[in-house]
Structure 1
Amino acid sequence: MERCFRALAVVLLVSGLSACSLFSSEEEVVKTPKALKPLQGEVVTLTKVWSKSLGDKAEEGHGNLRPTIEGDAIYAVGAAGTVIAVDRKTGKDIWRRKLENIRVSGGLTVRGGRVLLGTLNGDVIALSQKDGSELWRARVSSEVLSAPASDGFTVLVKSIDDKLTALDAENGKVLWTQSALQPALTLRGASAPVIEGEAALAGYAGGEVKAFRLESGVPLWEARVATPKGSSELERMVDIDTTPLIVGDTMFVASYQGNVAALDLYRGRLKWSKEMSSYRSLAEGFGSLYVTDQDSYVSSLDQRTGASSWQQKDLEYRDLSAPATFGNYVVVGDYEGYIHLLSQVDGSMVGRYHVGSSAIEAQPVVDGDRVYIQTVNGKLVALSMKKQ
């Protein structure tokens, strides 16, 4: 099967650039996803425990709606506004709520008794964790394409125009806003913000990571992860659309057409960087960092040095999801609805499961010996792992 393999939709921010140039034969490359090879000596079997439907299929580029676990429940939202709380063991509904006349594009976060999500209209909505009733709704400057962050007191939202907004978790009132100058072209995505202690952190379309004081929005530090290169605006895109991953005193981020980098969490000092293009979030385990790059290669990098341990290329151009660590394995989903298990030791393929025909764009959620998958068409599936 041949398909046009582009990282993400491109957002045109200035009228001086021709829209038709974005889709010329030079920039739109048709590549063939690798066919799946039969597994040799499969050592892990995945079996379905339960599944739920969340309704309508997400619009192109907005299928990255990841469920989240809090306590005994898993919470998920569909693109058409169906929000559910489900017993994570049995799959039975705890509550289900339909939000009318919205398209969800950024979610889902549960913190401080609130379920938080964002919409294509720029709304941030807070629901009661107990029963799904709406607590408040606030409008930010533009579309919210990533999950909000919260510490229970403040809600942090990153919109597609690279504005970071802090809201009062109690009522949705705007506390502060920080803006960044955007390049002429950006990917249609946004880095999810992160709250760490008293700091708010986020990646930006210009290839920078910025830290602010959570209480006031005062800048703490700024670090450049990637530098734009090339003669055209397309070549110069270095968006950070990955959610910063914090391990100890180190923050890991990746940029499109740029680098994977390790930064000192408290000062923003660069510890190491490795040239690699990615717009998917990262995962970690056993001292390694796991990356899905733009060609759907899965790589293992040493967290201390960035040195490559292994790279798995058998899933090339299959539009893989962000990776997650699952026991001794790395799990990713692909555009045909397959889940793949890779060994953390050497990247070898050790298991596979076909969830369904819909693509899997959202990063899998792992809980012990179970992994939860949400597909682009709004199917939520719980799978259990069993070694052969």
Structure 2
Amino acid sequence: MMERICRLAVVVALGMSVTACSMFSSDEEEVRKPKSLTEFKADVELTEVWSKGIGEGTRGSLERLVPSISGNVIYTVGADGEVTALNRETGKVLWNKELKLKVSGGITADAGLLLFGTLNGRLVALKETDGTLLWNISVSSEVISSPQTNGQIVIVQSIDDTVAAYDATDGKQLWRQENLQPALTLRGTSTPRIEGEAVFVGLSNGEAKAFRMTDGAPLWSSRVSIPKGTSELERMVDIKAQPLIVGDSIFLVSFQGNAAAMDKYSGRVKWTRELSSYKTISEGFGSLYLTDDSSYVSSLDQRSGAVSWRQDKLEYRLLTAPVTYSSYVAVGDAEGYVHLMSQVDGGLAGRYKVGGAIKAPLTVGGDYLYVLNADGKLTALKQK
């Protein structure tokens, strides 16, 4: 199914998901088929090291069940609440917990904690070593993003764009900031980014904000994109990607809007580049890598926003957010292929099929590239 209609199907109006593509007139849409794969001379070959089923996958839903790595362990959570810890080099299961929860967001492993959110607005904290439940609390609404922590404070952004902080020890709420949403938004939220004494967020109205970690005091607010057009649909400028911080710059991108660089201390806009995406940005070699709505992968110069290269041979293949792996940019697609591109010029450098649609961004740990498909199979790949 074409990228454009699929992205419209994830629109939410006042928090209610629109699931029927048929409500949009097919006469107004051009049918766009995924571009067929072509042969090329591979510079790198990937091989499977191990694979494991880790519980119910995302299947047809939009949960972002991204694994998380801590040390030599990779942690996963399935949509059914099955939490698994595996040795990331061998795939050996270290422990497994079946929590019977409807999980909607990725798991975060940090500072001895495992954190994730649920469809019914719960925030769950487990002990990293054995999965012991530490606390399970109610938050303002569904959590699709991955919670973040600095070891003392846990930050979560709910689907209603509420940003809240909780004590990492017992889950007691420390502060809460509510943000006004437009009438129409894409389903989901940005994942907060903690840096030093501040937390940075992207919002559904196209704004970026910074709050003080300790008490939630606003530090600055700046706009990435300005809504345009006459209809609510045309004016959607959601920021769904996690902010990326490199040095003193924070990088964000919005749907139907811009990629932008801002000063992380003041929010001053350094540059903007017209580009539409709701997927997380990655970086390497002084460049930013983005997957746009047409499944083009682009490289932008971090200092100026100038486009260095654009790879269009994977057009409309519903690519995941890009990640940097060795000297390559890696993405997954809806047919279960992993694609590697050169960070230097964007040329296709490698391909590997794991099977099953890949929706979650790939995860990198050292020499390993981890792929979680929609059926709940986690595969570890390595350069051959």
The residue aligned with 1:369 is 367
Deviation string, structure 1 residues 300-341 (Cα, Å, up to 9, x no partner): 000000000000000000000000011111000000110000
Equivalent AA in structure 1 for residue 309 of structure 2: W
2:197 corresponds to: 198
Which residue is 2:376 aligned to? 378
User: Distance between the aligned counterparts of 1:306 and 1:104, measured in 2?
Assistant: 36
What does residue 301 of structure 2 align with? 302
**1:347 — aligned with what?**
346
CA offsets, 1:238-265, max 9 Å, x none? Answer: 0000000111111111000000011101
Q: Partners of 1:208 and 1:27 in 2: how far apart?
A: 30
> Per-residue deviation at 1:104?
0.9
1:252-291 to structure 2, matched below 5 A, reads 252-291=251-290
CA-to-aligned-CA distance 1:341-381 (integer Å, 9 cap, x gap):
0011111101000011x211111111222101111221111
Matches for 1:304-343 after TM superposition, within 5 Å = 304-343=303-342
- TM-score, length-scaled by structure 1: 0.95
Partner of 2:208: 209
What TM-score, normalized to structure 2? 0.95
Residues 67/57 of structure 1: CA separation in 2 closer, same or farther (3 Å cut): closer
**Could you say what secondary structure the match of 1:106 adopts?**
coil
Output the CA distance in 1 between the equivalents of 2:97 and 2:225.
Answer: 42
Whole-Å separation in 2 of the counterparts to 1:61 and 1:108? 17
Q: CA deviation at 1:21?
A: 9.0
Q: Contact conserved, 2:3 with 2:293, CA < 8 A, in 1?
A: no
Equivalent position of 1:137 in the other structure: 136
Aligned length in residues: 381
1:32 is aligned to 2:30: no
Q: CA–CA distance in 1 between the matches of 2:15 and 2:97?
A: 39
Q: Which moved more, 1:24-33 or 1:177-186?
A: 24-33
Deviations 1:124-175 (A, max 9, x none): 0001101011110011111101100100111100011110011111011111
- The C-alpha deviation readout for 1:257-293, integer Å capped at 9, x for no partner, is 0000111011111011100000000110000000000
Unaligned runs of 5+ in 2: none
Q: Secondary structure at the match of 1:251?
A: strand
What residue is the counterpart of 2:89 in the other structure?
89
Residue matched to 2:187:
188
CA distance in 1, matches of 2:158, 2:23: 23
What SS is found at the alignment partner of 1:62? coil
User: How far 1:23 moved relative to its partner?
Assistant: 2.6
- Is the counterpart of residue 122 in structure 1 residue 121 in structure 2? yes
AA of the residue aligned to 1:159: S
Aligned to 1:98: 98
Amino acid at match of 1:73: V
8 Å Cα contact 1:58/1:80 also seen in 2: no
Distance in 2 (CA, whole Å) between partners of 1:26 and 1:186 is 23
Q: 1:353 to 1:239 in 2, by over 3 A?
A: same
Q: Which amino acid aligns with 2:126?
A: L
1:168 and 2:129 matched: no
| Cα drift, residue 28 of structure 1 | 5.5
Please give the secondary structure, in 1, of the residue aligned with 2:135: strand
Deviations 1:99-121 (A, max 9, x none): 11x21111211122110000111
Distance 1:350 1:194 in 2: 31
1:11 and 2:9 matched: no
Q: Is the 8 A contact 1:3 1:30 kept in 2?
A: no
Which amino acid in the other structure matches residue 176 of structure 1?
W
Change (3 A) 1:22 1:177: farther
User: 1:300–1:232: structure 2 CA closer, same or farther, 3 Å change rule?
Assistant: same
1:6 aligned counterpart, secondary structure: helix
AA at the equivalent of 1:155: V
- Give me the whole-angstrom Cα distance separating, in 1, the residues matched to 2:11 and 2:318: 16
- Distance in 2, Cα, partners of 1:208 & 1:153: 27
User: How far off is 1:30 after superposition?
Assistant: 2.9
* Runs of 5+ unmatched residues, structure 1: none
> Percent identical across equivalent pairs?
55
CA distance in 2, matches of 1:21, 1:122: 29
Contact 2:55/2:77 (CA < 8 Å) preserved in 1? Answer: no
Q: Could you tell me how far apart the structure 2 residues matched to 1:376 and 1:140 are?
A: 27
Matched, 1:57 2:57: yes
Amino acid at match of 1:62: L
